Amino acid sequence: MHRLIALFALIAFASPTALIAEESLLAQVETVAPTVDGKVLEWRRYFHEHPELSNREFNTSKTIEEALRGMGMEVWTDIAHTGVVGILHGGKPGPVVAVRADIDALPVEEVNDLPFKSVARGEYRGADTGVMHACGHDTHIAIGLGTAAIFAELRDQVPGTIMFIFQPAEEGAPEGEEGGAYLMLKEGLFERMKPDAIYGLHVWSAGNAGEISYRSGPLMASADGFQIDIYGRQTHASRPWGGIDPIVTAAQVVMGLQTIASRQVNVTKAPSVVSVGRINGGIRGNIIPDHVEMLGTVRAFDPDMREDIKRRVEHTAKTIAESQGARAEIKWEFGYPVTINEPALTERSVTVLNRVVGAEHVSVSDLVTGAEDFSFFQQQVPGFYFFLGATPVGQDATTAPSNHSPMFFVDESTLPVGLKALAGLVADRLENP
């Protein structure tokens, strides 16, 4: 009897910290997350009001650095120009898990009427422009810092190490510069410390606030740009036989390129897109020029198909030009690889998402032809990337202004959901490697 009384007394007077230590790390995260929500909102509004363009995120990175140092973290700076990485060493041995948040804004002038509306200006391609977090990277920073704050609070209970990667230039480095995830890896980030898994999220207007969507395997497309120069021979337009018409040749090339996705590659394996977005040539209606420039993009969801399409674009352009007596030269600008969610990690992640936000709020995404440089990290380690809805509940998300629009709007009620989701995924991976 005396032992039983002593046991009840121990439970009655145990501290909350002692009791929470007996819970799983995921359960502890769910308890602590609501206490961080206010700070996440504050961070989001600050970064929204003070956006900076790619590779120019000087104040942004400094603010992130100060926040991480305030949490008692080891901090690495000046990675890929303005990248910041916070390292949290847990109180127990375990794996290394990474969280990635992109930090750059876009050359877009905001039109939303918000108390924290951006009025920032910047320079893009030599021109003065408005600057706005029109793709929601301000929310990614805030959720990333909020996740860091949760685990800083639970540091002694963390089994392993967490890398908080705040990555610049996801929207693309300025012309003539390198940046983004590619440059972080090129400069040796994962040689310095390589995670066992990496997680990331993206807010988007195509979903309602609080809704999460994902896809196992390919999620977002690779994105490559091409320039095709068609060289003919100039002549008077009244005597086309006196030269070689690069305009007609370019028109035939455009039509030929459309047969690649529709007739040449296996559409049952994965979809693809080959588009020409610009044709420029000639200065007068009565002069056939000697040169036409074409710019376009290729999107693919299979890495092998991506390479195959490249070969077919070159072959199609060159052979059509040769058939007309013209000449074609092709230049490539290789962009982001396919964003591929590792299937086993995805299956595990969905179980966690169903728990922390409710299965009714988690769904499978369609393939997305946009591109994301999170894919470079996924080429090195297993990764899971998901979408977080941003459009107010009750509003038709299919008609909401899209990401990159000057009217892009994030319903802030989605922030706590994103925080619980991201922190929950990290907790589960740490505790169950």
d(CA 361, CA 389): 10
Q: Between the CA atoms of 271, 101, 182 and 387, what dihedral angle is there, to the nearest 10 degrees?
A: 0
199 is catalytic: no
Place of tokens 């910290």: 17
212-214 and 362-364 beta bridge pairing: parallel
Please state the separation of Cα 140 from the chain's center in Å.
10
Contact 105, 404 (CB under 8 A): no
Token output for 199: 């997680």
Query: What end-to-end distance do the CA atoms of the chain give, in Å?
Result: 42
385 is catalytic: no
The pairs formed by 406-410 with CB atoms below 8 angstroms and a separation of 24 or more are 406/108, 406/109, 406/110, 406/111, 406/112, 406/130, 406/132, 406/134, 407/111, 407/112, 408/112, 408/132, 408/134, 408/135, 408/136, 408/205, 409/112, 409/205, 410/44, 410/136, 410/139, 410/203
Active-site pick, 336, 342, 372, 385: 336
**In 184-324, which ranges are E strands?**
197-208, 212-214, 217-220, 222-231, 235-236, 272-280, 287-288, 291-300
d(CA 260, CA 316): 9
Sheet containing strand 327-334, edge to edge, reads 272-280, 291-300, 222-231, 327-334
Contact 73, 172 (CB under 8 A): no
Specify the DSSP class assigned to residue 284: -
Active site residues: 336, 412
